[in-house]
Amino acid sequence: MVLSTIVKSIEYMLKRPYTRLVPAKSRPFKTERLRGAHLLDMSKCTGCSMCQLVCPANAIDMVEVEGNYPQNPRRRFPRIDLHKCTYCGLCVEYCPFNALYMTSITGFELYTRDKKTTLKTPLELSKVDPSLITVRREMLAVKEVKPGG
């Protein structure tokens, strides 16, 4: 028994390692539908506060932003504390105007040693690279199913 375990151990040793050397050698683990940091489309957001209401972690508050946003006359946009966020995606799911997205930014890419940086202002959220978007509202929102299929 012990011998066969040793043989197996050697077999496992020759296999590709499972350990990932983050951040020295590799990026955080990612998939196509990873729920990571948010992206805000400021040209669509109307300041309805739905995302703030639905957030279970109280990570969102609404702040006023300078500038001209015709669809949002009070210029109030969500500010997200990524340190509180649980990345549940409910804000994306419940945003009635498709203004929020989630991206593949995760792991150590979210944080720095300066605690202030986890509180993302609307402007910062809107400057995230759109090519990183992983989760959109249509992937999570409920498709109406009529009775009987």
Partner 1 sequence: MAGSYTVYFGPQHPGAPGNIGFKLELEGERVVKAELIPGFLHRGFEKMIENRKWENSYVLSYRFCVEDPDSLEVAYAEALDKVFRVEPPEKARYFRMIQAEFSRIASHMFWVHFMAGSTGLRTPAYWASAAREEILKWFAWVTGHRVYHNFSVPGGIRGEVPEGFGERTTQLTYLVEDIVKDVEKALLGNRVFKRRTRGVGVIKGDVALKLGATGPVVRGGGLKYDTRKIAPYERYDKVSFEIPVGEVGDSYDRALVRFREVYESLKIIRQAVLEVRRGEPYRVKVPLTAPPGRGYARVEAARGEYTVHVVSTGGRSPYRVRFKSPSLPLLTTVLNYILENEEVTIADLPVIFASLDPCAPDIDR
User: Which residues would be at the binding site for ligand SF4 (CB under 6 A)?
Assistant: 45-51, 54-57, 59-60, 78, 80, 85-91, 95, 97, 99-100
- By CB under 8 A, which span of 59-67, 70-78, 124-132, 140-148 interacts with partner 1? 140-148
Distance CA 47, CA 75 (A): 7
* Binding to partner 1 in span 21-50, by CB under 8 A: 29, 31-35
**Residue 58, both tokens:** 């109280």
In the beta sheet, which residues pair with residue 63? 77
In the beta sheet, which residues pair with residue 118? none
Distance of CA 146 to the CA centre of its chain: 31
**Residue 42 binding: pick among ligand SF4, partner 1, none (C-beta 5-8 Å cut-off by kind):** none
- Beginning with the edge strand found earlier in the chain, give each strand of the sheet holding 119-120 in spatial order: 60-64, 76-81, 119-120
Provide the minimum distance between the beta carbon of 5 and ligand SF4 in the complex, in angstroms, as a whole number.
Answer: 45
Contact 40, 126 (CB under 8 A): yes
Position 139 contacts partner 1 (CB under 8 A): yes
In the beta sheet, which residues pair with residue 55? none
**Residue 127 binding: pick among partner 1, ligand SF4, none (C-beta 5-8 Å cut-off by kind):** none
Binding mask 69-88 for partner 1 (x = CB under 8 A): -----------------xxx
85 by Cβ neighbours in 10 Å (0-12 / 13-18 / 19+) ranks as buried
Position 143 contacts partner 1 (CB under 8 A): yes
Residues near partner 1 (CB under 8 A): 1-2, 4-5, 8-9, 12, 18, 29, 31-35, 54-57, 86-90, 94, 134-135, 139-140, 142-145, 149
